[in-house]
């Protein structure tokens, strides 16, 4: 019934969809085997994409030729660029999405790729011969052969759902847990762990009183994620609303603490510190008498509302009673209670930088199975695993992104070298070169790389090259376009700009922190006409490269220094125990992680600069 596939992707979540699409678009024959085809690309938690550092990842996926950006654009109901008041390294695109449309658009996208076949069934084992994966086994007893397998099981491996004192098996609300894979992998020698996450209740929007809440509109000039021409910004947007918990809400929630699986020890897995449940927030920040709640619509054509900030696994009647005390929620009707879920993951230090496992050849892990949390984190791993699975079976060089090239590089490097004790999510602070890894330049950074491996289209490459050309041109032209002092003084007095005594290049005026292209436009008719001919995205990127020129230059130099360490290769069979001066911890970590370069060795947690110096000397440097 089945041919031998090049790549089988197990799981149709965010990681699985990107993995299947990437491998197939590069030419592999792909089978997407997933438990339920109706839940392909289901957003398990909030109906939103992007946000701080995550928005940068979506743009990176897009620039490389993945689909998360396009699908987000097609299903968007609101767009905001977060952190606009901070420096450009922090600007982060975020969309509110129509949950049903997001899933529908992903499925349609996958169905448009001729190389993707689908099979709906639970996969409960792998076929492994001589430490090499050669296929999968399904619940109905089928064996399907493949040259490589990408596991993207999300929160489903031995998933256990908790609501108050009730607990039952499940991978997500109303979905079965996956059994068999963890047990087999542990038998093969893998180490497994347990994590937990949670989600808030969903309520009926018709039962809320929005007049008692603060409206949060989308940006006046909404942008989009994708650099391609396939999508356009929204013309109409839906608003979100903000309200707050209060001491009465907290008191009611506290009555459920005794039955809370979080506090009575029933939940063993570690949860995301940065995305705590409401009971956690009340417990940890007892001094605060209110917490913010974002009231987020689930789509264009539904009344369902996601209560962001109210993630909980307390008994459902406690959730309901507490919700009713929130301003604007007095008559609330609950559609679905919040819940917590515990699931198995595999510490990612068991992976190579390609996301291939060290123990079993041609087996890749991507997404929540690696201890991460978030759609964007999962999607980018799926993309990289799909790309590398395809390249490996075609005997091509692996595709690796460095920490100075992409957030995706930071994420994978962190995972495989440091591992993670709690669900890993991306932050801008994790990226040491974040001024280089901006959302505005992801296309310039990555489309040429995506094109070189046969994933990003010719059109994407051309667009990115043209953008760079325009930026160079603008930077150059602004050096010769001049502004006369009188105009500066008259027009810009509202901008607290120091008066300029002599005719000055527009380039130098734009360097002033309070001056943007919008102000520059007002100064001279000629300058205004010149600026108006360019698209906002090109102007934004040019402005950043002028204003932050010296920082960017310094960061490039730093990144180059770091890359020199990456060039220092460590031989495959090096026996670290023969280097007596190394600390015991470094020896143990090196033996386990087997770093391939000095740069990689330097980022392993517990390895000190002294260990690196010793290793450098040993390698003859
Ligand atoms: P998933 O999206 O979970 O997809 C896994 C896919 O694999 C599913 O399609 C499933 O059907 C399929 N599958 C699993 N096992 C098998 C099998 N054996 N055979 C066939 N198919 C299989 N992220 C946040 O960033 N913040 C949050 O607050 C947050 N809260 C969450 C709350 C809950 C209750 C849940 C369930 C998830 C939450 N997440 C949160 C996590 C977010 O949903 C995931 O990070 C993201 O969906 C992971 O993507 P993935 O592709 O790895 O897995």
Per-residue pLDDT at 274: 75
Average pLDDT over residues 552-581: 89
Per-residue pLDDT at 190: 98
Question: DSSP string covering 480-504, please?
Answer: H-EE-HHHHHHHTGGGTPPP--S-E
**Ligand 1 center–CA 375 separation, angstroms:** 8
Written in H, E and C, the secondary structure of 360-381 is CECEEECCHHHCECCHHHHHHH
Residues whose CB is less than 8 angstroms from the CB of residue 360 and which lie 6 or more positions away in sequence, other chains included: 126, 128, 131, 132, 133, 188
Q: Is the pLDDT of residue 271 over 90?
A: no
Asked whether 340 lines ligand 1 (CB < 6 A), one says no
280 labeled binding residue = yes
Per-residue pLDDT at 305: 98
User: Which band of pLDDT confidence, cut at 50, 70 and 90, is reported for residue 491?
Assistant: low
Poorest-confidence range of 18-32, 265-279, 345-359? 265-279
Of all protein residues, the one whose alpha carbon is nearest to atom 38 of ligand 1 is 45
Q: Is the pLDDT of residue 488 over 70?
A: no
Asked whether 170 lines ligand 1 (CB < 6 A), one says no
Atom number, ligand 1, closest to the C-alpha of residue 377: 45
Check residues 482 and 383 and name the one with the higher pLDDT.
Answer: 383
**Ligand 1 center–CA 146 separation, angstroms:** 24
Q: Is the pLDDT of residue 392 over 90?
A: yes
Per-residue pLDDT at 17: 99
Average pLDDT over residues 281-288: 92
Choose from 170-179, 258-267, 559-568 the range with maximum mean pLDDT: 170-179
**Ligand 1 center–CA 339 separation, angstroms:** 14
485 labeled binding residue = no
Asked whether 33 lines ligand 1 (CB < 6 A), one says yes
Give, in order, the Cα–Cα distances in Å from 206 to each of 329, 391, 487: 10, 51, 54
User: Which band of pLDDT confidence, cut at 50, 70 and 90, is reported for residue 496?
Assistant: low
* Mutate which of 18, 44, 199, 294 for ligand 1 pocket (most atoms within 8 A of beta carbon): 44
Taking only the tens place, the pLDDT of each residue in 200-209 is: 999 999 999 9
Per-residue pLDDT at 526: 87
Asked whether 123 lines ligand 1 (CB < 6 A), one says yes
Per-residue pLDDT at 263: 85
**Ligand 1 center–CA 299 separation, angstroms:** 20
Taking only the tens place, the pLDDT of each residue in 430-461 is: 999 999 999 999 999 999 999 999 999 999 99
Average pLDDT over residues 298-306: 98
User: Which band of pLDDT confidence, cut at 50, 70 and 90, is reported for residue 487?
Assistant: low
Per-residue pLDDT at 240: 98
- CA 562 to CA 620: how far, in whole Å? 18
Per-residue pLDDT at 147: 98
Per-residue pLDDT at 57: 98
Taking only the tens place, the pLDDT of each residue in 91-127 is: 999 999 999 999 999 999 999 999 999 999 999 999 9
Question: DSSP string covering 45-95, please?
Answer: S-SEEE-TTHHHHHHHHHHHT-SHHHHHHHTEEEEEEETTTS-TTT-EEEE
Check residues 526 and 365 and name the one with the higher pLDDT.
Answer: 365
- State the alpha helices, DSSP H only, in 568-608: 584-593, 598-602
Q: Is the pLDDT of residue 169 over 90?
A: yes
Average pLDDT over residues 209-234: 97
Of all protein residues, the one whose alpha carbon is nearest to atom 46 of ligand 1 is 375
Asked whether 160 lines ligand 1 (CB < 6 A), one says no
**Ligand 1 center–CA 156 separation, angstroms:** 7
Q: Is the pLDDT of residue 499 over 80?
A: no
Per-residue pLDDT at 381: 99
Write down the mean pLDDT value for the chain.
Answer: 94
User: Which band of pLDDT confidence, cut at 50, 70 and 90, is reported for residue 83?
Assistant: very high
Per-residue pLDDT at 619: 85
Per-residue pLDDT at 538: 95
User: Which band of pLDDT confidence, cut at 50, 70 and 90, is reported for residue 553?
Assistant: very high
Asked whether 68 lines ligand 1 (CB < 6 A), one says no
Average pLDDT over residues 605-616: 85
Per-residue pLDDT at 183: 98
How many other C-beta atoms lie within 10 A of the C-beta of residue 567? 9
Query: In angstroms, how far is CA 12 from the centroid of its own chain?
Result: 17
Choose from 448-457, 518-527, 569-578 the range with maximum mean pLDDT: 448-457
Q: Is the pLDDT of residue 541 over 70?
A: yes
Instruction: With beta carbons less than 8 A apart as the criterion, state whether 360 and 132 touch.
Output: yes
Atom number, ligand 1, closest to the C-alpha of residue 13: 4
């Amino acid at each position: 019934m089945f041919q031998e596939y090049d790549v089988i992707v197990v799981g149709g979540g965010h990681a699985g969809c990107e993995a299947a699409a990437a491998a197939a678009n590069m030419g592999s024959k792909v089978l997407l085997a997933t438990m339920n085809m109706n839940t392909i690309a289901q957003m398990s938690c909030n109906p939103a994409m992007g946000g701080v550092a995550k928005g940068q990842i979506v743009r990176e996926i897009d620039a490389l030729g993945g689909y998360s950006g396009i699908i987000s654009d097609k299903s968007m109901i609101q767009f905001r660029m977060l952190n606009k008041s901070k420096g450009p390294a922090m600007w982060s695109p975020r969309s509110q999405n129509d949950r049903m449309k997001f899933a529908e658009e992903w499925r349609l996208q996958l169905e448009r790729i001729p190389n993707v076949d689908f099979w709906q069934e639970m996969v409960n084992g792998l076929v492994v011969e001589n430490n090499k994966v050669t296929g999968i086994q399904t619940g109905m007893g089928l064996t399907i052969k493949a040259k490589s397998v990408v596991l993207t099981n999300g929160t489903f491996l031995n998933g256990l759902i908790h609501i108050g004192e009730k607990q039952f098996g499940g991978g997500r609300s109303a979905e079965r847990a996956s059994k068999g894979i963890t047990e087999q992998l542990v038998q093969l020698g893998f180490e497994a762990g347990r994590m937990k996450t949670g989600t808030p209740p969903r309520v009926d929007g018709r039962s809320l009183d929005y007049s008692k809440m603060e409206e949060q509109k989308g940006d006046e000039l909404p942008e989009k994620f994708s650099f391609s021409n396939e999508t356009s910004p929204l013309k109409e947007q839906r608003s979100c609303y903000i309200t707050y918990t209060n001491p009465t809400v907290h008191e009611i929630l506290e009555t459920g603490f005794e039955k809370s699986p979080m506090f009575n020890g029933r939940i063993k897995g570690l949860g995301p510190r940065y995305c705590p449940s409401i009971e956690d927030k009340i417990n940890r920040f007892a001094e605060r008498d209110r917490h913010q709640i974002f009231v987020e619509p689930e789509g264009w054509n539904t009344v369902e509302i996601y209560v962001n900030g109210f993630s909980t696994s307390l008994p459902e009647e406690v959730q309901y009673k507490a919700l009713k005390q929130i301003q604007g929620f007095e008559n609330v009707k609950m559609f679905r209670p919040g819940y917590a879920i515990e699931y198995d993951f595999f510490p990612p230090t068991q992976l190579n930088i390609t996301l291939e496992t060290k123990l079993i050849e041609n087996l890749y892990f991507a997404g929540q199975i690696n201890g991460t949390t978030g759609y964007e984190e999962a999607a980018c791993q799926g993309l990289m695993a799909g790309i590398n699975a395809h390249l490996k079976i075609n005997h091509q060089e692996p595709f690796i992104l460095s920490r100075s090239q992409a957030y995706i590089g930071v994420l994978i490097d962190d995972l495989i070298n440091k591992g993670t004790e709690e669900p890993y999510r991306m932050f801008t602070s994790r990226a040491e070169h974040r001024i280089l890894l901006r959302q505005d330049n992801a296309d310039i950074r990555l489309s040429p790389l995506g094109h070189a491996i046969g994933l990003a289209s010719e059109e994407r490459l051309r667009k990115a090259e043209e953008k760079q050309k325009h930026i160079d041109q603008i930077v150059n032209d602004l050096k010769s376009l001049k502004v006369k002092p009188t105009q500066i003084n008259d027009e810009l007095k509202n901008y607290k700009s120091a008066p300029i005594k002599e005719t000055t290049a527009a380039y130098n005026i734009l360097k002033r922190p309070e001056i943007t292209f919008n102000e520059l436009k007002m100064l001279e008719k000629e300058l205004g006409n010149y600026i108006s001919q360019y698209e906002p995205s090109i102007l934004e990127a040019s402005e950043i490269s002028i204003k932050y020129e010296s920082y960017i230059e310094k960061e490039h130099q730093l990144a180059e220094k770091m890359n020199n360490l990456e060039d220092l290769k460590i031989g495959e069979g090096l026996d670290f125990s023969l280097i007596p001066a190394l600390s015991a911890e470094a020896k143990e970590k090196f033996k386990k992680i087997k770093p391939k370069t000095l740069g990689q060795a330097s980022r392993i947690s517990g390895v000190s600069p002294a260990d690196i110096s010793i290793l450098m000397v040993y390698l003859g440097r």
